[in-house]
Structure 1
Amino acid sequence: MERKRLPDYLKRGIIDTEKTKLVRSILKHKCLNTVCEAARCPNKAECYAKNTATFLIMGNICTRNCRFCNISGGTPQSIDPQEPLKVAQAIKELNLEYAVITSVTRDDLPLQGADCFRNVILETKKLCPSIKIEVLTPDFEGIHDLIDIVADANPDVFNHNIETVRRLYPKARPLAKYHRSLDFLNHIKEKYPNMKTKSGLMVGLGETFDELKQTFFDLDAVGCDIVTVGQYMQPTKHHLPVEKYYTDKDFENVKQLAKQAGIKQIVASGLVRSSYRAFETYNDTNY
């Protein structure tokens, strides 16, 4: 199948600012990864300018193979025991106000990396007491004890992406389960009711507006505070094809569907990614 051409309204040049150069320099020196750099995110200059960044911990090799994701699969690297301190030091050197910590999926580890998230949160809050931290984690196979390891470290926002509508899970996320992700978010809200929860999904994989609306209702039912929606863009010819590029009007419709379903904070447009304007959205939830 021929790949659909990316519309002009979804194209944004990569702006190389002094802040992006500084970020790259510090990351290289500390041997750290960010999703911003690894994915060549078009929003990174804007985020860096607002003192936010998204750190990718536990290496850059994933133990799963979701058909929409450009993260490499294979045999993961060993865990760097100094990574929590390195991340905390980088956040301090960059004078960040809001940091997002995410990871590849590490089903190979005894605690699936939950302890790594905990250690990064605790080390960062120790070195940068005023920092706000959002975590974006894998599903930990739905094991509540692993979720609790992360939540007990008290991140300000706990994000777990549902990614797509229920029907498309076998095609897009064969090793994940829709109901498992909902249970994940529900568990956090039930056990940690004051913790902000967040989830995100892509559009353009063949879902319908009715399916999106049902997904929003499902997320609202588990108390999800913030939802992000962005356009899926096919990374390579080996990934799932784009079935549709959403227009600005489509995204306005998506926002209305989310609001009708009860979602308190919805961020939706073509270039939105999970961490886009994360700090502003977090502040907006403090009503």
Structure 2
Amino acid sequence: MVTVLDTVGGVKPRHPEKAHRPDQPIARKPDWIRVKAPGSPVYNETREIVRENKLVTVCEEAGCPNIGECWSKKHATFMIMGDTCTRACAFCNVKTGVPGALDAGEPDSVAIAVEKLGLSHVVITSVDRDDLDDGGADHFARVIGAIRARSPRTTIEILTPDFLRKPGALETVVAAKPDVFNHNLETVPSKYLKVRPGARYFHSIRLLQKVKELDPGMFTKSGIMVGLGEERNEVLQLMDDLRSAEVDFLTIGQYLQPTRKHHEVISFVTPEAFKAYETIAYAKGFLMVSSSPLTRSSHHAGEDFARLRAARAAAGR
């Protein structure tokens, strides 16, 4: 395992802000969180396309456990605006620090990769770019436009930062007309100070609500991790908060600790408890719910989007 203190050839550690934190024990994963190691021919083909176009994927940067499955289906989630985040969330394995300048050629590079992979649905996410006046909103819009130009039939799902204190940023992204606007709450409000200190829970709720005000037809989505010490009643209240913002799709997955310097896993939530959360969330009015130990925001995103559209049609919304 590579820790936040490891360096290779003089390269700076991924998480300098965590270097002096005490080590946290890494709990043994239960049997229901076992995944196969990647390495199929299609997986290798996907990796080559990502490398050829010099792209960054959240699949790799965040250490997603589903990378083998997704890349073997040519499903990759592209992470734009570099590999370095200006935030320092306690759960996240993406590198933190001072980011470089935006790559003006990145929108075309992403669009070329989407075309080569033949994606019918693509997920685009990003690092937080608090250093930019618009938080990277215009870059998001350019990426969406480039994909539309090359692959007009591809549906586009974006997973955005919170654009905290970035006036006009949300409007720019919504005007680019992604098919799904996703912004993750990540955890319940009582855990924000420790888990997501750079963010504000009710700002994120308001962001999702405003998407619907700007474009009532746009699908909205949000996700959380469990196993961080949250209480069940807090998760249920979070569901109500999201429904008050008319969010359509909720994802719930198990938090997995990237290194000993990250937030520890407080509990491994059982598959039965995930199923109970799913049942309750549907009863509260979500059109789509994905709740399982290995659920991640972009896992099965294409199939879920088809189901989401069908659920809206059936509900007459």
Query: TM-score if structure 1 supplies the norm length?
Result: 0.96
Q: Which amino acid aligns with 1:15?
A: P
Q: Which amino acid aligns with 2:191?
A: L
Q: In the alignment, does 2:222 pair up with 1:236?
A: no
- 1:7 corresponds to: 30
Q: Which amino acid aligns with 2:46?
A: V
Q: What secondary structure is seen at the aligned counterpart in 2 of 1:210?
A: helix
Q: In the alignment, does 2:131 pair up with 1:114?
A: no
User: Residues 223 and 252 of structure 2 are in contact (CA less than 8 Å); yes or no, is this contact kept in structure 1?
Assistant: yes
- C-alpha separation between the residues in 1 aligned to 2:75 and 2:249? 18
CA RMSD, aligned part only?
Answer: 1.3
Stretches of 4+ aligned residues off by more than 4 angstroms: none
> In the alignment, which of 213, 223, 227 is matched to residue 246 of structure 2?
223
Q: In the alignment, does 2:236 pair up with 1:200?
A: no
User: Residues 68 and 240 of structure 1 are in contact (CA less than 8 Å); yes or no, is this contact kept in structure 2?
Assistant: yes
| 154-163 or 33-42, which deviates more | 33-42
> In the alignment, which of 124, 139, 142 is matched to residue 101 of structure 1?
124
- 1:210 corresponds to: 233
Q: Which amino acid aligns with 1:104?
A: V
| 190-199 or 251-260, which deviates more | 251-260
Deviation of 1:51 after TM superposition, in Å, equals 4.6
> In the alignment, which of 106, 114, 123 is matched to residue 83 of structure 1?
106
User: Residues 14 and 42 of structure 1 are in contact (CA less than 8 Å); yes or no, is this contact kept in structure 2?
Assistant: no
Larger Rg: 2
Q: What secondary structure is seen at the aligned counterpart in 2 of 1:227?
A: strand
Q: In the alignment, does 2:302 pair up with 1:275?
A: no
> In the alignment, which of 67, 90, 102 is matched to residue 90 of structure 2?
67
Query: TM-score if structure 2 supplies the norm length?
Result: 0.87
User: Residues 59 and 104 of structure 1 are in contact (CA less than 8 Å); yes or no, is this contact kept in structure 2?
Assistant: yes
Residue pairs, 1:35-46, within 5 angstroms: 35-46=58-69
Q: What secondary structure is seen at the aligned counterpart in 2 of 1:52?
A: coil
Q: Which amino acid aligns with 1:114?
A: A
- C-alpha separation between the residues in 2 aligned to 1:256 and 1:144? 37
- 1:164 corresponds to: 187
Change (3 A) 1:35 1:212: same
- C-alpha separation between the residues in 2 aligned to 1:46 and 1:40? 13
| 47-56 or 227-236, which deviates more | 47-56
Q: What secondary structure is seen at the aligned counterpart in 1 of 2:164?
A: helix
Listed one character per residue, the Cα deviations across residues 199-218 of structure 1 (whole Å, up to 9, x for unaligned) are 00000000111100000011
User: Residues 41 and 72 of structure 2 are in contact (CA less than 8 Å); yes or no, is this contact kept in structure 1?
Assistant: no
User: Residues 27 and 265 of structure 2 are in contact (CA less than 8 Å); yes or no, is this contact kept in structure 1?
Assistant: yes
Q: Which runs of 5+ in 2 are unaligned?
A: 1-23
- C-alpha separation between the residues in 1 aligned to 2:42 and 2:26? 34
- 2:196 corresponds to: 173
- C-alpha separation between the residues in 1 aligned to 2:139 and 2:213? 23
Deviation of 1:14 after TM superposition, in Å, equals 2.2
Q: What secondary structure is seen at the aligned counterpart in 2 of 1:90?
A: helix
- 1:56 corresponds to: 79
Change (3 A) 1:222 1:258: same
Listed one character per residue, the Cα deviations across residues 28-51 of structure 1 (whole Å, up to 9, x for unaligned) are 111111112333433234334545
User: Residues 91 and 262 of structure 2 are in contact (CA less than 8 Å); yes or no, is this contact kept in structure 1?
Assistant: yes
Aligned length: 287
- 2:54 corresponds to: 31
Change (3 A) 1:3 1:44: closer
Change (3 A) 1:13 1:49: closer
Identity, in percent, stands at 43
Deviation of 1:105 after TM superposition, in Å, equals 0.1
- C-alpha separation between the residues in 1 aligned to 2:242 and 2:274? 18
Deviation of 1:8 after TM superposition, in Å, equals 2.0
- C-alpha separation between the residues in 2 aligned to 1:37 and 1:2? 23
Deviation of 1:71 after TM superposition, in Å, equals 0.8
Q: Which amino acid aligns with 2:135?
A: Q
- 2:12 corresponds to: none
